Amino acid sequence: MKINASSAVALTRHIELSDKSTQKDGRDAIVRRNWFINPDEHEGLAAYRIEIPEAGSIAAPHFHTQDQFQVFVDCPGAWLGADALQPVMVQYADACSPYGPIVGGPQGVAFFVFRLMKDQGAFVMPESRGSMTKKPGRIVLAHLPDAAEPVPAGGVQALEAPHADGLAIFRLAAGPGGRVVAPSPASGGGQYVLIASGAARSGDEVLPARSCLFVSPDEAALEITAGSEGFNAVLLQFPKQSWAARLAAAH
């Protein structure tokens, strides 16, 4: 079940919301959510870009009831908890694991969110502690090297080495015309790939910068061929139990 989604389409569908984030003074902030893969259309799979354009806006510490990855791309001067954000920063959070606050910089903050199952929304801490359905788990951070950094051998670099349950984060990169075979999806619970810069091709699909695709665990390893400028991408691999929970929920 491979799904491709391009930011060239998604970024034309800006939706202004007023209840997802607050500024320092408590006023509602503008939030734009741009869907790549909508959970209502793809059996719960979700991939989207969040833009909070107001300077200094704050998303209070919170948790979600689904395992998730976030990829921070436009974030000068922004913070994630005690960590100063720099592009491209990746965060993985197990379900019910609080993180934050997310504090916008002078131009706010923008990031991508990836999940395997439809989520109920943010549960703000500490008042939502009683809504946790399990104990907090892992919070993992990784940084994707800039495209100017040397291409790794074979085009694959582990940014977070695979955990026992398959959780992992990889860099995929190649120069012009280069071909990369990604790690086998069978080792984890589903993979999202986000093209951070450049452009690539997977089969007949063209993948421009800021586009993404999803590969399920039962598919063959993804093969990507770089365009004329090469590409730099991040591969986000969920734990095996995340996919098992998705399958269980479908029955």
CATH number of the domain that residue 194 is part of: 2.60.120.10
Residue 18 lies in a domain: yes
3-state secondary structure of 16: strand
Name the nearest CA neighbour of 243 among 215, 222, 217.
217
Q: How far apart are CA 15 and CA 97, in angstroms?
A: 27
Q: Are residues 107 and 15 in the same domain?
A: yes
DSSP element (H, E) containing 9: helix 7-10
* pLDDT in single tens digits along all 251 residues of the chain: 778 887 766 555 555 554 545 555 444 567 888 889 999 889 999 999 998 888 888 888 999 999 999 999 999 999 999 999 989 999 999 999 999 999 999 999 999 999 999 998 888 888 888 888 889 999 999 999 999 999 999 999 999 999 999 999 999 999 999 999 999 999 999 999 999 999 999 988 889 999 999 999 999 999 999 999 999 999 999 999 999 999 998 77
Q: Are residues 130 and 162 in the same domain?
A: no
pLDDT reported for residue 26? 47
Residue 127 lies in a domain: yes
The contacts of residue 167 (CB under 8 Å, 6+ apart) are 92, 138, 140, 160, 188, 237, 238, 239
pLDDT reported for residue 57? 87
pLDDT reported for residue 47? 94
pLDDT reported for residue 15? 57
Count structural domains, the chain.
Answer: 2
Q: Are residues 14 and 135 in the same domain?
A: yes
Q: Are residues 135 and 159 in the same domain?
A: no
Q: Are residues 17 and 128 in the same domain?
A: yes
Q: Are residues 41 and 137 in the same domain?
A: yes
Q: Are residues 101 and 204 in the same domain?
A: no
pLDDT reported for residue 130? 87
Q: How far apart are CA 113 and CA 188, in angstroms?
A: 18
Residue 192 lies in a domain: yes
Quote the domain boundaries for residue 189: 145-241
Residue 2 lies in a domain: no
**CB count in 10 Å sphere of residue 79:** 17
Confidence (pTM): 0.92
pLDDT reported for residue 17? 53
Q: Are residues 164 and 44 in the same domain?
A: no
Q: Are residues 108 and 18 in the same domain?
A: yes
Q: What is the DSSP letter of 85?
A: P
Q: Are residues 197 and 81 in the same domain?
A: no
Q: How far apart are CA 238 and CA 190, in angstroms?
A: 6
How far, in whole angstroms, is CA 20 from its chain's centroid?
Answer: 18
